Amino acid sequence: METWPLSHAARAKLMHVSSATLSTALFKRGLRNTFIAGATLLNPNAPRMVGEAFTLRYIPAREDLDRLDVFEDREHPQRKAVETIPVGHVMVIDSRGDARAASAGGILVTRMMMRGAAGIVTDGGLRDTPDMRRMNFPVYCRAPSAPTNLIHHHAVDINVPIGCGGVAVYPGDVVVGDAEGVIVIPAHLAAEIAEEALQMTAFEDFVMERVVAGAGTFGLYPPSEETRQRFAHWRQERGR
Amino acid sequence: METWPLSHAARAKLMHVSSATLSTALFKRGLRNTFIAGATLLNPNAPRMVGEAFTLRYIPAREDLDRLDVFEDREHPQRKAVETIPVGHVMVIDSRGDARAASAGGILVTRMMMRGAAGIVTDGGLRDTPDMRRMNFPVYCRAPSAPTNLIHHHAVDINVPIGCGGVAVYPGDVVVGDAEGVIVIPAHLAAEIAEEALQMTAFEDFVMERVVAGAGTFGLYPPSEETRQRFAHWRQERGR
Amino acid sequence: METWPLSHAARAKLMHVSSATLSTALFKRGLRNTFIAGATLLNPNAPRMVGEAFTLRYIPAREDLDRLDVFEDREHPQRKAVETIPVGHVMVIDSRGDARAASAGGILVTRMMMRGAAGIVTDGGLRDTPDMRRMNFPVYCRAPSAPTNLIHHHAVDINVPIGCGGVAVYPGDVVVGDAEGVIVIPAHLAAEIAEEALQMTAFEDFVMERVVAGAGTFGLYPPSEETRQRFAHWRQERGR
Amino acid sequence: METWPLSHAARAKLMHVSSATLSTALFKRGLRNTFIAGATLLNPNAPRMVGEAFTLRYIPAREDLDRLDVFEDREHPQRKAVETIPVGHVMVIDSRGDARAASAGGILVTRMMMRGAAGIVTDGGLRDTPDMRRMNFPVYCRAPSAPTNLIHHHAVDINVPIGCGGVAVYPGDVVVGDAEGVIVIPAHLAAEIAEEALQMTAFEDFVMERVVAGAGTFGLYPPSEETRQRFAHWRQERGR
Amino acid sequence: METWPLSHAARAKLMHVSSATLSTALFKRGLRNTFIAGATLLNPNAPRMVGEAFTLRYIPAREDLDRLDVFEDREHPQRKAVETIPVGHVMVIDSRGDARAASAGGILVTRMMMRGAAGIVTDGGLRDTPDMRRMNFPVYCRAPSAPTNLIHHHAVDINVPIGCGGVAVYPGDVVVGDAEGVIVIPAHLAAEIAEEALQMTAFEDFVMERVVAGAGTFGLYPPSEETRQRFAHWRQERGR
Amino acid sequence: METWPLSHAARAKLMHVSSATLSTALFKRGLRNTFIAGATLLNPNAPRMVGEAFTLRYIPAREDLDRLDVFEDREHPQRKAVETIPVGHVMVIDSRGDARAASAGGILVTRMMMRGAAGIVTDGGLRDTPDMRRMNFPVYCRAPSAPTNLIHHHAVDINVPIGCGGVAVYPGDVVVGDAEGVIVIPAHLAAEIAEEALQMTAFEDFVMERVVAGAGTFGLYPPSEETRQRFAHWRQERGR
């Protein structure tokens, strides 16, 4: 399997584009299902999240297997994932959309932040969310959920393809989150999508400036030929 | 079809009554289903929303019809609705409760605000919600949703009767929103409901004042004859 | 039926432990279903909620029975519950998870606060939530809901065993809420769970301090023998 | 509380009217919420169900209370209900709409049939449904569910007002089921609703006969004056 | 708007292909969302349904507008639709997926059958379903539902584009139903899809015959060159 | 990892016990979550299903990866699974509970039947269900679903631990299905659960016989000492 390392340039661009703009850029390539449903950012003031997906897969718990002593084992996939996620990566957890128990809690999330992870996404719950709401770190979940992981989840695999919030996530895909939610970009498209979304963002900023100034949307959005010229001029002026 | 223009007086009264009080006033007339389910105000500090309904109806998208170039057409119902909604009206969108894609985004919502709309309500998603949370404009949706409109929605009609969040909305109905949610008042009842709700609000303020002062609710809420007299006195004192 | 009064000591301990820690302590005793699903704290800055459960049971409304004049009756269970909930107790309402109408509104909630209740929990809706978000009082619900109680609810029983958010709640159970959500502790376990959770909290604080300082989780969480000794030392130093 | 015994005459009439017709008769009196949602008849060839409601209330199970040995206790509400339901009554179970575990199984349902019960309704699951599909006895549930009752349910009350499938059910209400589903008639209305529904059924049969013969619905359904006369004639001919 | 009358030839072909095969044929053209979710055939032995869509749109009911006397009006959209649906057409009803009340009942469905309609589809409920299960006529709904239409639905439009079960339905689209469910074919594609699906069906029948005879799927499904030749031979033999 | 081959004796016993009885036997060992939610048997007259789990894991589809030509590849996990499932095994598919597209269709299911599989279970949809309803083979799904697999599913793994209908399924677990639904037995418990369930079934048959004869449940179910003796006698008589 080829790998598509995320360049510094692409990462930097993705830091300045919205999940909405990325969704449109991906839709232009026929990708309709790229937004992780129901993943809410706990601290709306956290930094933008950009990084390669590092995945963790849960299946339903079984009472005889999922007891508190399993964490003694350093090979336990949840704990091993926390201690091996590479710098700059985003932990994406397939919790089957089940928020009845936490996918992780404050200590593990803090540890991942300390290790240089770029963020955390689960389609399940998280516990210790009052603390996470104050962390300067992007963490996304479906709902706060105090019950400990083992009550409903069994960690089974690290870094395999998963589903999260109804979206396919392959290890190495580029995961971008803002205060609206989380977009998954197939790894091989990340560079071109980053560039295209940056261009689109310039245009959207131009349009918004004009709308705030009172302009109508006809001929502006989408642009007429005249608008295209005004935009070209605007870009020159702003150096964008 | 008769029309029931919303008078300045009624509008002013509706600015000072809560969605809860309006719900009770409508319930007294046998109307039980007037609160749009799941519509959350994005900026809790936005001004109160009061205005006549101007509606937009979506059906599910079809891949061959709903492509990005449809917006070239000035007759496209979504774009036409944005450019024709009358001043003081509320755009109410029937998105079939489907928040998998946005009903609208930041540019269109800003344009409607600039054109003098009184607010926006959808039972689906909106994109660019981080920006909307900072706008001084009342915008209600079920959930933030980055995917572009066309992925799941096809705009088909302007200003026809619709359902929104399980409630019937007829063009011209009076739509009132506070930080709790959105109430739909049949047009012909708006004036009398506005007046009645204003009276009820005075009484509720009186009751709350007494409860905060330590009074019990028996004989107060609902009022005994003695309470009615105290309330009459209170109104006189306060000039309400 | 035995009663298990909540001691001042236990109450004080429970003020300093999280719902997440309590969930784990209860799980150790085989109790997996103790977190009330979907109950959100309206004012995240409200004080911690700790108190014995005082319950109210709703069934679906029936149009001929549930009219506005029922509140004239001082024996109406909702109103009687508000005026009889003992000091330090938490009102827990079984609304069948139905948030289409409010379980209670601002006046009744304020009255319960004034009477010394420790908090309010419903698995349904509440109305006047914009006001409740500013009250210095812990109030939990599934969603804001303007429609008046009688549209969908009929109050039928006070202080019987109920379900709330999928959890069994017996009168006298100890109900603890933080900004994550609400945990129900069987009355007879409250004292020992309070103590155990307090001990666990000390350990978790120690672990978090070390993780923030850069330590890995292996050998720390769960603790190796060496970690146990460091923790013992840490407790001595901190006087915990 | 007054009681309204169901007369033989009313019972006989209710045996010959459909749940659809009953719903309309109740709607004419302002009762909109009388059909138990999601209750499916297991054996579509079972006899019509008509009887007074005898209720059983469940709350969520708790692991330390709900163990298999509870059934040793003859006062256990589920077992007591089975052995005390009066002849001709319908057991209506409030399972909170939760079909993850059974509300009852084949042995208990058979015992109730043997004791002369008129039928069983739960808004949860039932186990041993393959057997029940062959019993000549009307049994309604949301879904087949093999897990034993105690895994999710705790029986707590017999013959109190409950909700079932979103409908209020008071002990003694008249419960009627056909192959479409289950209607709850307030006890005091049962006699007049039975009579009215019987009259409506005669008219519907007349209408259907005419429609099958090729007649249009205009002037027929609802009836013109001419149609009323033809119907009067038809009744005379048929002796209905 | 162009119209695409459904030819006799296309109709005949569609009588012999399954909804599964049609779904694949449409997927090959990029149409992914063509199967009406949750529409169940009431009588599994009813004839195959093929016809052009004739639509009816419902919005939520409002108590003051939706009273039983509305049916006196021959212009009432539900009743007018029943009396005007053209021969060979399928009535497709947008009930917003709401099965709490019936979209129609036995008399209206029978009348449509008598008038030559090809079938009925709603994403809501139907009443009198026990009768419909015995009718030799294809009727699809989400669930049996005794409550009369007006309790939750208000008929508002005839033959406009609608959503039904999450699928866009335009008047004149070709609607095909078998015992699995209902597929919507855009009108302009119906002829070519009918032909293609017929060819695919021949191939699937050939494959199934071979699989039943013990063949493996590799090289068979999808076919190798050798399989293609065997299939050509098979067609010749069978005259298909 | 140890393996626990299912003996002929255990398999034979499991052929004669119900999913309800198995659920109780597993609950006695602390296993509460063993019933696959929402999996319905398509042909209620199909033989009982007993076999070891052979699993297939799906994640959400991605438009650029999941095209019809993927099936050319003999390593495609869905197709490979069909051609490699061992005799006597049950194919259990993790479809994330998503029935919007089929997990498999008639040709693949027939092929697995021909290869000697013991049955099929998915928590998603199946297509060609009208044919499957006539096959003498146990097939379980959530709902009929015409859309082809690739529209929503991407097959990714064979024979790994999965979740199906909310239950953990490990390869080799013993999967038993009757007309009520599907139970998953951990492999190492299968032999003892089979024996225990067989004993329980004898007792339940005895109880049912007595209940049908008019006996009450007190002292019978659960049994008094006297009942135990009668049961011992009954077993002797029946040779069970």
Residue carrying the six token digits 């191939």: E203
Q: CB distance C167–D63 less than 8 Å?
A: no
Q: CB distance E129–D207 less than 8 Å?
A: no
**Average pLDDT of the segment spanning D86-96:** 98
Phi-psi category of residue F65: left, alpha or beta, with phi > 0 → left and psi -120 to 50 → alpha: alpha
pLDDT the model gives residue C2: 63
Chains D and A are touching, with contact defined as 3 or more CB–CB pairs separated by less than 8 Å: no
Residue A3's pLDDT band (boundaries 50, 70, 90)? Answer: confident
Instruction: Write phi, then psi, for C138 (nearest 5 degrees).
Output: -80, 120
Q: CB distance E110–D35 less than 8 Å?
A: no
pLDDT the model gives residue A2: 64
In E, what residues contact B, Cβ < 8 A?
A: 29-33, 59-65, 96-98, 154, 156-157, 160-163, 166-169, 186
Pick from D59, D94, D169 the residue to mutate for testing the C interface (most C CBs within 10 Å).
D59
Residue F5's pLDDT band (boundaries 50, 70, 90)? Answer: confident
Residue carrying the six token digits 């052929």: F15
pLDDT the model gives residue C39: 97
Q: CB distance B168–E154 less than 8 Å?
A: yes
Give percent above pLDDT 90 in chain A.
Answer: 96
Chains F and D are touching, with contact defined as 3 or more CB–CB pairs separated by less than 8 Å: yes
Q: Going by DSSP bridges, is the β-strand pair B182-185/A162-164 parallel, antiparallel, or unpaired?
A: unpaired
* Residue among A228, A97, A66, A117 at smallest CA distance from A163: A97
Element (H, E) at E41: strand E40-41
Phi-psi category of residue A129: left, alpha or beta, with phi > 0 → left and psi -120 to 50 → alpha: alpha
Please state, in angstroms and rounded to a whole number, the distance separating the CA atoms of residues A75 and A71: 9
Does residue F1 register a pLDDT over 60?
A: no
CA distances from E11 to B63, E6, E193 (A): 24, 7, 11
Q: CB distance B181–C144 less than 8 Å?
A: yes
Please give, rounded to a whole number of angstroms, the shortest distance from the CA of E123 to a CA of chain B.
13
The strand ranges marked E within chain D are 40-41, 49-60, 89-94, 119-122, 125-126, 139-141, 143-144, 153-158, 162-164, 167-169, 174-177, 182-185
Write down the ipTM of this complex. 0.96
pLDDT the model gives residue D4: 81
Dihedral over Cα of A5, A47, C215, A81: its sign: negative
Task: Residue A208: list chain B partners with CB under 8 A.
Answer: 106-107, 110
Q: CB distance F211–D150 less than 8 Å?
A: no
Please give, rounded to a whole number of angstroms, the shortest distance from the CA of B32 to a CA of chain C.
6
Task: Residue A178: list chain B partners with CB under 8 A.
Answer: 130
Side chain identity at residue A32, one-letter code: R
Q: CB distance D62–C31 less than 8 Å?
A: yes
Between vectors from CA A132 to CA A128 and to CA A136, what angle results, nearest 5°? 160
Residue carrying the six token digits 């004989």: B219
Q: CB distance E114–D214 less than 8 Å?
A: yes
Q: CB distance A217–B111 less than 8 Å?
A: yes
**Average pLDDT of the segment spanning C108-117:** 98
In F, what residues contact A, Cβ < 8 A?
A: 29-33, 59-65, 96-98, 154, 156-157, 160-163, 166-169, 186
Q: How many CA atoms lie within 13 A of B133 on its CB side?
A: 11
Please give, rounded to a whole number of angstroms, the shortest distance from the CA of A21 to a CA of chain B.
8
* Residue-level pLDDT, tens digit, chain E, 240 residues: 567 889 999 999 999 999 999 999 999 999 999 999 999 999 999 999 999 999 999 999 999 999 999 998 999 999 999 999 999 999 999 999 999 999 999 999 999 999 999 999 999 999 999 999 999 999 999 999 999 999 999 999 999 999 999 999 999 999 999 999 999 999 999 999 999 999 999 999 999 999 999 999 999 999 999 999 999 999 999 998
Helix axes D190-212, D225-238, angle to 10 degrees: 100
Please state, in angstroms and rounded to a whole number, the distance separating the CA atoms of residues B81 and B57: 10
Please state, in angstroms and rounded to a whole number, the distance separating the CA atoms of residues A216 and A213: 9
Task: Residue C63: list chain D partners with CB under 8 A.
Answer: 30-33
Task: Residue A72: list chain C partners with CB under 8 A.
Answer: 222
Q: Are C161 and C55 a contacting pair, CB within 8 Å? A: yes
Q: Fill in the DSSP letter of residue D42.
A: S
- 3-state SS of chain C is CCCCCCCHHHHHHHCCCCHHHHHHHHHHCCCCCCECCCCEECCCCCCCEEEEEEEEEEEECCCCCCCHHHHHCCCCHHHHHHHHCCCCEEEEEECCCCCCCECCCHHHHHHHHHCCCCEEEECCEECCHHHHCCCCCCEEECEECCCCHHHCEEEEEECCCEEECCEEECCCCEEEECCCCEEEECHHHHHHHHHHHHHHHHHHHHHHHHHHCCCCCCCECCECHHHHHHHHHHHHHHCC
F110: helix, coil or strand? helix
Q: Are B124 and B142 a contacting pair, CB within 8 Å? A: yes
Q: What is the pLDDT of residues F151-179, one digit of tens each?
A: 999 999 999 999 999 999 999 999 999 99
Q: CB distance A160–F157 less than 8 Å?
A: yes
pLDDT the model gives residue D3: 73
pLDDT the model gives residue D2: 64
Please state, in angstroms and rounded to a whole number, the distance separating the CA atoms of residues A59 and A79: 16
Q: What is the pLDDT of residues A186-212, one digit of tens each?
A: 999 999 999 999 999 999 999 999 999
Q: Are B153 and B61 a contacting pair, CB within 8 Å? A: yes
pLDDT the model gives residue F2: 64
Chains F and E are touching, with contact defined as 3 or more CB–CB pairs separated by less than 8 Å: yes
Task: Residue C31: list chain D partners with CB under 8 A.
Answer: 62-64
Please give, rounded to a whole number of angstroms, the shortest distance from the CA of F5 to a CA of chain E.
27
- Which residue positions in chain B have pLDDT lower than 70? 1-2
pLDDT the model gives residue A5: 85
Please state, in angstroms and rounded to a whole number, the distance separating the CA atoms of residues B162 and B172: 12
Task: Residue C110: list chain B partners with CB under 8 A.
Answer: 208, 211-212
Query: What's the mean per-residue pLDDT of chain F?
Result: 96
* Residue among B208, B175, B118, B216 at smallest CA distance from C128: B208
Instruction: Report cis status (omega within 30 of 0) of the bond before A222.
Output: yes
